[in-house]
Structure 1
Amino acid sequence: MVNIREMVDELGGLAQKRQLVARGAQDFDLTRAVKRGEVVRARQGWYTTAEESESKVRAVRVGGRLTGISAIADWGGWVLDKHPLHVSLPHNAARLRSPWNRRRRLGVRRGLRLHWDPPAISETGTNWHVGILDALRRVILDEDLETAVAAIDWALHAGRIDAFDFERLFLALPRHKRWIRSWVDGRCESLPESFARTRLRREGHRVAIQVPVGFKRIDLVVNGVVGLEIDGRQFHAHTFEEDRLKALEITIAGFHAMNVSAKMVFTQWDLFMHALDSALSLRSTSGFENSGDSVQMGRASPLPGGFTRPRYGFS
């Protein structure tokens, strides 16, 4: 007996009928599996074992594939907060449906962004994602600067794209968006680090990342003065002593040591900036600034054309 549920699971929890037929499934096998509740018909010709709320299922219900920030999030990329569901559709797409399991045509599009893409995009990617370069391009076109930078930082850091892909991505952008390349750094190791680096540069600060100190590295060095560590771990008691030792080494190296959590970066940025300004002011009045001869600073750059201020809105 053909096990449709196992087939669908092996294909990632979402499969087209033609894929299942190629593995030996017959129409009566599919009908029986749906009646027994072993799989759900997500859309005509599509079967799933995933939850209805999963973004890939919702995209397929509409009639397209994940793109933009929705694709990045589904891949496990660096994404903060919820975003509208971005769905790529063939330029001639028809019979669009609601992303939820309702027998009606697509009406109100709250929380949904549709993108009618040319064949060059429609023919790449997977069953429920566009290709990663197309998804990143969509992010750059649609999202604010720090969200776009974080997505590209992640793709480089995770090895999802290489230097050649990086160049292809920027050549495919409108000219007024290409400035973003000077804000990206594949050495970045986390979402809060990426956000903090972009925000600090927008505030006019010079920022270096992954600066060596002894046998360790400082996450960010601001203006050659503040050695900033950003802890994104929820539970880190087992590294408490190691973290304290690193703070001492940063101080010995001549930097003002600061340690903040990812939550502070995301929700208490104004408080952090107040503390940072105080630290920089104190070092300035004492006449001290690390020479930073071995530190390459990412200097502040003008805001790339076409990018909006971030949603939480700081000046």
Structure 2
Amino acid sequence: MTPISHHAGTTTATRFLTRRALLRAGWTDRQLAAAVADGRLLKPRPNAYLPPGVHTDTIDACALGGRLTCVSELARRGVFVLEQPALHVHLHENRRRAPVLARPVRRHWDRLRRMPPLGATSVGAFDAVLQAVRCQPPRAAVATLDSALHLGALHPDDLDELFRQLPRRHAVLRKLIDSRAESGPETLVRLMLRSLGARFDVQVRIRGVGRVDFVVDGWLIVECDSEAFHSTWEDQRRDRRRDQAAAALGYSTYRPIAEDIMWRPEEVRAALAGLLGSRRRGRRR
């Protein structure tokens, strides 16, 4: 009897197995029923079995008879997307009567460009990115593209095909992509700085300070802080000492938090505009 397992990594999609495949592997119907009863196997829908420990989104997509896709699949892979309450599931056109879940579901029916392996519970990264660009606001779509390229979920050679498949209105996004961005908030701040007409460099290494996210107009350091890496006092002490070292070199530092960058962007943009405007006014005086 061959055990069912799945890869712990986020980039590899789980595959479900059918009853016939499991019987061929040495299971019996009685063993399957016992394994489902005691949690050693999951059975999200008839004739589909998954190993325990699979993400809830994957289980729900399988229960609907589809595959995890769009922002839901990219989030599973660790690619940046703006949070969305709905589960995004790709369904075959003949599954128009999929069961109803207790959570909101966004159903995708479009033809996949790259078919996943038989039994896969997720679409491939290319199709997930293609759908996520259409499903998100333009700035978030750029952040997703940056993240997918930075993490290797999408290859630069895929961009030509990707933009051929997108509506023409998305073509403007291509010139905004920069795979050096290490997080979605960094991309969003970069787009804010661009909209303000600021001159800036990204991922700059400053002697005695280290690498910073942005240096704007040669004097303003902007660091995009997230809870994951800046929440403890040890993290804050390190950051403040870096800022102190930067100040000794004549730099000022602004640290917007990721939460504000994503959900209160007008406040972050106003802060950037105020800082940049104050230096320009000082020069005039």
1:115 CA drift (Å) = 1.4
2:260 to 258, 261, 264: 264
Structure 1 residue 7 corresponds to structure 2 residue 4: yes
Aligned residues: 276
RMSD of aligned C-alpha atoms? 3.1
1:94 CA drift (Å) = 5.0
Which amino acid in structure 2 is aligned with residue 118 of structure 1? R
* Structure 2 partner of 1:89: 91
Identity %: 29
Once residues 209 and 126 of structure 1 are traced to their aligned partners in structure 2, the CA distance between those partners, rounded to angstroms, is 42
Residues 1-315 of structure 1 mapped to structure 2, 5 A cutoff: 2=1, 6-9=3-6, 15-17=16-18, 19-50=21-52, 54-99=56-101, 111-118=104-111, 120-123=113-116, 127-214=120-207, 216-232=210-226, 233-251=229-247, 254-287=250-283
Q: With structure 2 as the length reference, what TM-score do the two structures score?
A: 0.81
The structure carrying a bigger helix percent of its residues is 2
Distance 1:246 1:95, change over 3 A: same
Q: With structure 1 as the length reference, what TM-score do the two structures score?
A: 0.74
1:124 CA drift (Å) = 5.7
Which amino acid in structure 2 is aligned with residue 7 of structure 1? I
Q: Secondary structure at 1:231's aligned position in 2? A: coil
Distance 1:236 1:171, change over 3 A: farther
Contact 1:55–1:85 (CA under 8 A) maintained in structure 2 = yes
Which ranges in structure 2 are unaligned for 5 or more consecutive residues?
Answer: none
Specify which structure has the bigger relative contact order, considering alpha-carbon pairs within 8 angstroms and separated by 6 or more residues: 1
More deviation, 139-148/36-45: 36-45
Once residues 240 and 186 of structure 2 are traced to their aligned partners in structure 1, the CA distance between those partners, rounded to angstroms, is 19
1:183 CA drift (Å) = 1.6
Distance 1:10 1:176, change over 3 A: closer
Distance 1:226 1:116, change over 3 A: same
Q: Secondary structure at 2:191's aligned position in 1? A: helix
Once residues 157 and 52 of structure 1 are traced to their aligned partners in structure 2, the CA distance between those partners, rounded to angstroms, is 26
Which amino acid in structure 2 is aligned with residue 145 of structure 1? P
Contact 2:200–2:215 (CA under 8 A) maintained in structure 1 = yes
